[in-house]
Structure 1
Amino acid sequence: MRRTPPPAALAVVIAVGVMALQALLLPLFAGPAANLGPRDLPVAVAGPAPAVEAFTSKIESMSPGAFEVTAVADAAAADAAVLDREAYAAFILSPTGVTLHTASGAAPAVANLFAAAATQLGAGTGMQVTVKDLAPLTADDPHGAGFAAGFFPLIITAMAAAIALYFAVPGFAARVVGLFTFAALAGVGGAAVLHSWLGVVGGDRWAVAGVISLLTMAISATIHGLATVAGPRGIGVGAVLILLVGNALGAVGAAPEMLPQPWGEFGQWLPIGAGATLLRSAAWFGGAGGGPAAWVLASWALLGLALVGLGRLGRKEQGLPEEAEAHEAARRLGATVAA
């Protein structure tokens, strides 16, 4: 017969466990935030070859390791690199001075960083530096704060939908219908608020809706799938991976290259980081540069749905009727809390 540990011992175990979780979360959140800075930010430079070489040496000496400079043929190629999301900015050199083309829609913090670098460059060399924003933020959200703040509720509601479906809806087919219905409605509703009402994202409204649908499906399907195969513990695993780790490394308000590596790159393989990148691509760049992020989100969505199916097969093998799943899930949660 299984013995229940004394209340005092259980209390100590819980305290130690939560403290261990705190020890993991503090550096996860505070570390990247405290070490934000440019790391190999892609930048294009166009102009005469000798000028490009001298300019590249100059900016690399100003901030070693901050920029990854690529020389391009002309101003049109430089602008194409920015608008295709191959570079965050482009310096165009001419006999009369330097023109800096940025894209605030890609990352406001990075655009501001380049603008500050241009000012420093002009003061240090005496050159005239002109700044132009090729993909400006919307007039209703000129600093990009609304985009970052509005992104978080999409994550929370996607998780809430997955958990509610798991506990309240019995049956595999009904749950899958619920996941797809929520994703579709979340896309339409999210675009209506963020694009049409608040105006914090630009671009085509239906493209924005499609990205939000894919993002919410990736999150809700993953959480629901983990719950299906592992019960309430699966919800905890999903919350830690997607919400805590994903939020800390997602660079929603910055850029992956601003985080310590390889964590910035790792964050782009999680739904929050990929979702923010894809939404920016849809809202300000006509989808350019969003292909890898779309594949990441689609992969998470398919993985989640596969886990839902796997969990259903497992329950069939145990002989548990589908209509009893929700009641069994609630029973397991109660048992977990009581333990």
Structure 2
Amino acid sequence: MAQPQAHRQPPALVLGVVIAVAVVLLQALLVPLFVTPVAEPEPHDLPVIVAGPEPAASAFADQLTSARPGAFEITTMPDAATADAALRDREAYAAFVVGADGVALHTASGASPTVASLLTQATQHLGGGQPVPVTDVVPTDTGDPRGAGFSSGFLPLAMTSLAMGALLVLVLRRRGPRLLGLAAYATLAGLVAAAVLQYWLGVIPGDYLMNAAAIGLFTLAAAATVAGLGSVLGRPGVMLGALVVFLVANPLSAVGSAPELLPEPWGAVGQWLPVGAGATLLRSTAYFDGAGGGTAALILAGYALVGLALVAIRRKARPDQPATVVDRELVAA
């Protein structure tokens, strides 16, 4: 005999409360990750260089370590030219150059305008009342001096890639059209988005084809992850993909700041998620001729390959699951 309706309601009410508590806890975690890098940026093991003759360079490095324990990961180099070359290779965010006239700061705002601004402000007291000279070795694009356009233009790529992956699962049920859709989307997204960001909006410099390849790889990784999980798990897989690709990956990506400005260990975690890796790769191609983007490219390639493999598995439909309009029109994959 079926249970009375009244006996089935309390578990549903409890489940609703449990879901609300879980979402609020997630919210309490995400809000600080969005706010902290903007309101109270605090570096953690930020790679910087101290350049100059010995023993002055080592003495200044010790001074930085004592003043801000845990803030910097310091490498010493013999002169400014060597330090500038390292900045162009994206080995550090900035270099403190120690010379006879005091300390000068060399930055690479292309790597992070937020870090460059933070270090510029923090080092002014080192001049003994005189402004510390600042040289931007790798500046941001003239059309986007504060880097806001880069971060604002990159995040919609994640949103549309999420939507693309979900649509492929919800509209198409055959693996052939899904795979073809992913390939077409990644190719077109890379070429068009790079053209918009570089030639129309003017917020990124660099080689167009390299930027297009970076964006194409990121969009493929994001869309394939959602489509792959959806192909294997159905709609719950799409929701899980949205969680991985956007909801969690977005605040951990540090697109508008730097991973080292996030609370530990979230900055490092974010670089293993698609949005963080994608932003790192695009910065590398746009400002550093690809330097420093190798790991990010491998991470994105891994997401893309796993996602494509999951799509290729093709989840079997339940006997009672109706075919979509597109399914009825497609005779073969």
TM-score (norm 1): 0.88
Unaligned runs of 5+ in 2: 328-333
Aligned residues of 1:221 and 1:301 also touching (Cα < 8 A): yes
| Match in the other structure for 1:225 | 228
Instruction: Trace 1:84-95 onto structure 2 (pairs within 5 A).
Output: 84-95=89-100
3-state DSSP of counterpart to 2:133: strand
Give the unaligned 5+ runs of structure 1: 330-339
Q: Bigger shift: 72-81 or 195-204?
A: 72-81
* Alignment-derived partner of residue 21 in structure 2: 19
Aligned partner of 2:139 in structure 1 is 136
Which residue number corresponds to residue 267 of structure 1?
Answer: 270
Residues 35-184 of structure 1: matches in 2 within 5 Å?
Answer: 36-123=41-128, 129-184=132-187
Question: Alpha-carbon deviations, 1:228-247, whole Å to 9, x = none?
Answer: 00000001111112211101
**Residues of 2 paired with 1:22 and 1:134: CA distance?**
44
Distance 1:119 1:226 in 2: 50
CA offset at residue 150 of structure 1? 0.9
Whole-angstrom CA distance in 1 between matches of 2:125 and 2:188: 47
Partner of 2:331 in structure 1? none
1:54-99: CA deviation from partner (whole Å, max 9, x where unpaired):
2112222332221111111222211121111111111222212322
SS across alignment from 2:125:
helix
- Partners in 2 of 1:67 and 1:90 — Cα distance? 11
> Could you report, residue by residue, the CA deviation over 1:202-224 in whole angstroms, capped at 9, with x for unpaired residues?
11111111111000000000000
Distance between the aligned counterparts of 1:253 and 1:54, measured in 2? 33
In the alignment, the residues of structure 2 paired with residue 205 and residue 328 of structure 1 have an alpha-carbon distance, to the nearest angstrom, of 36
Number of paired residues?
A: 322
Please tell me the residue identity of whatever aligns with 2:83: A
- CA shift for structure 1 position 270: 0.4
Please say if 1:282 is aligned against 2:290: no
Q: Quick check: 1:38–1:257 contact (8 Å CA) kept in 2?
A: yes
Deviation sequence 1:20-71 (CA, Å, 0-9, x none): 1221232233256336411111111121111112211222233222111111
Q: Does 1:234 align with 2:237?
A: yes
Which of residues 298, 302, 315 is equivalent to 1:299? 302
* Aligned-partner residue type, residue 298 of structure 1: A
Match of 2:330 in 1: none
SS in 2 for 1:49: coil
**Counterpart check, 1:210 vs 2:208:** no
Identical counterparts, % of pairs: 48
Is the 1:47–1:73 contact (alpha carbons within 8 Å) kept by the matching residues of 2?
yes
Greater alpha carbon shift after TM alignment, 178-187 vs 161-170: 161-170
* 1:319 shift after superposition: 8.9
Give the distance between the partners of 1:302 and 1:43, measured in 2 at CA. Answer: 35
Cα RMSD of the aligned pairs, angstroms, is 2.5
Match 1:33 to one of 32, 35, 40: 35
Which amino acid in 2 is paired with 1:235? V
The structure whose residues are more often helix, as a share, is 1
